[in-house]
Amino acid sequence: MFLTPTQPDVISVSTLNRMARDLLEAGLPAVWIGGEISNLTLAASGHAYFSLKDSSAQIRCVMFRQRLAAVGLRLAEGMQVELKGTVTLYEARGDYQINVATLRAAGLGRLFEAFERLKARLAAEGLFDETKKRPIPAHPRAIGIVTSPAAAALRDVVSTLKRRAPAIPVILYPTPVQGEGSAQKIADAIRVAGQRAEVDVLIVCRGGGSIEDLWAFNEEVVARAIATCPIPVVSGVGHETDFTICDFVADLRAPTPTGAAERVSPSREQMLSQVDLARRRLERALSRLMTDKTQQLDYLSRRLAHPGQKLALQAERLAATRRRLALLAEARLAGARRSLSVAEARLVRQRPRPSDTARELDRLGHSLRRAMLERLNRRRLALAQYEATLVALNPEAVLSRGYAIVEKADGSAAKSPGELRQGERVTLRLAEGQTQALIDHPDGAQQTLPF
């Protein structure tokens, strides 16, 4: 019996491919695989698509741009490689493929692993930090080269420098660039160049070769010598596709030794062109300046007069100035005289008269004494009124007329019989002393005195 589309056991192609991909990625770990590259396609995006095959089978592979750039290896048809990646499935087409993480030339796994380990460690220490890269001088006074005297790279560099900048001296720091102990000798040559400080820029170079041939430039001793060198260093090791540790540490990487020479030297033709351009600009500027100065000279020549005329004109101006100065001096003198007369009259009016002042002082003294006596009398009268009022309001005066004040036990004065209780002890305050009394109400009733 066939399943109908409505039954729950039916799945889509996308679901099947996704399940297969999950099984592949979960069931197979990342492995190293060796084989030959075929059907290579380098996409415009920078990704690489190829097949990895052996004598009896093949598998599709994809390596994305960032990972391809990190290995620094140019892929080619028929190249024998070793790659590490994850086995997966491209769902859109159902293609079984390998997602490549890293790749190396076949047979060089040990060297590539050592290269990657050192590269990672030095990068972690900051030796590749772009912020530490020093600028290459545009017009160096002298150029240093660290390479072998027998290297073809030296001839290429020297011929390029001779063609581009023949006036700049070149100093060679000879060293073997291949073989046993060459890495230490390269590092020593770099240190010697830094100690002598006789060049403005240093080229470390050699021609192309296999990874074994270039391995001296992948040694840590060379990398640290470049990092500590006080002179800017340009690396020109191998061909454009070759990458070494030296390239990452140097202040600038050139694709070839010839490229390194071009990077450190100004172009003679370009400089001559710039000089010619500057000469033409200078000629135009001088021509404009001469034209302007000629016109200015013509203008000034028309304004030029005979010295006698200038002297006569200056004499007239001097006489007119003298007359204006005399008139101004007279006007200022007259004004000063008028101001002096006004000040003198004002001073006369303000001059003090002792007799008038004495009479005024006597008058003011009499007025002050009268005012003080009147105010004192008013104060005395008011005081007498206040005294009479106090005497009238004094409780002692009331008591002297035979009245008494009834004080309760708490010291307050009783104001009505209702405030007193039967048998309560009270104090009677009289004019000449005080006495005690008990409250007695006949039949317990309050008594009201008739008045």
Closest residue by Cα to residue 24 from 80, 91, 75: 91
User: What is the Cα–Cα distance from 417 to 328, expressed in whole angstroms?
Assistant: 109
What are φ and ψ of residue 349, in 5° steps?
-65, -35
Strand order of the β-sheet with 233-237 is 170-174, 143-147, 201-206, 233-237, 252-253
SS3 category, 142: coil
Among 190, 197, 83, 184, smallest CA distance to 140 is for 197
Burial zone of 399 (CB within 10 Å; 0-12 exposed, 13-18 middle, 19+ buried): middle
Residue with tokens 């600038």: 252
Q: Two tokens at 317?
A: 């101006």
Q: Give 388-446 as a DSSP string.
A: HHHHHH-HHHHHTTT--EEE-TTSPBP-SGGG--TT-EEEEEETTEEEEEE---GGG--
pLDDT profile of the chain (451 residues), mean per 10: 54 84 81 89 91 90 90 82 88 86 74 82 91 91 94 91 90 92 93 94 88 86 94 90 88 92 85 85 89 82 75 87 90 89 81 76 87 90 87 73 80 81 84 82 52 43
| Element at 172 (helix H, strand E) | strand 170-174
CB 104 within 8 A of CB 112: yes
Please tell me whether residue 363 adopts helix, strand or coil conformation. Answer: helix
In what side-by-side order are the strands of the sheet with 425-430? Answer: 405-407, 425-430, 433-438
Q: Closest Cα partner for 227 from 245, 200, 211?
A: 245
Helix H or strand E segment including 39: strand 31-42
Nearest 5°: phi and psi at 16? -65, -45
Please tell me the distance from the alpha carbon of residue 9 to that of residue 3, in angstroms, as a whole number.
Answer: 8
Q: Is the dihedral of CA 399, 404, 410, 414 positive or negative?
A: negative
- The model's pTM is 0.44
In this structure, which amino acid lies at residue 72? G
Phi/psi zone of residue 444: left (φ > 0), alpha (ψ -120 to 50 degrees), beta? left
The Cβ of residue 268 has, within 10 Å, a number of other Cβ atoms equal to 15
d(CA 80, CA 90): 25
Contact in structure between 260 and 236 (CB atoms under 8 Å): yes
Instruction: Say how far apart CA 61 and CA 50 lie, in whole Å.
Output: 5
Is 70 exposed, middle or buried, given 0-12, 13-18 or 19+ CB atoms closer than 10 A? middle
Work out the angle at residue 246's Cα, subtended by the Cα atoms of residues 242 and 247, and round it to the nearest 5 degrees: 55
Tokens 């500057």 sit at which residue?
278
pLDDT of residue 137: 92
Distance separating alpha carbons of residues 107 and 35, to the nearest angstrom: 11
SS3 152: helix
410 in Cβ contact with 432 (< 8 Å): no
- Per DSSP, the residues of 199-249 read -SEEEEEE----TTTTGGGGSHHHHHHHHH-SS-EEEEES-TT---HHHHH
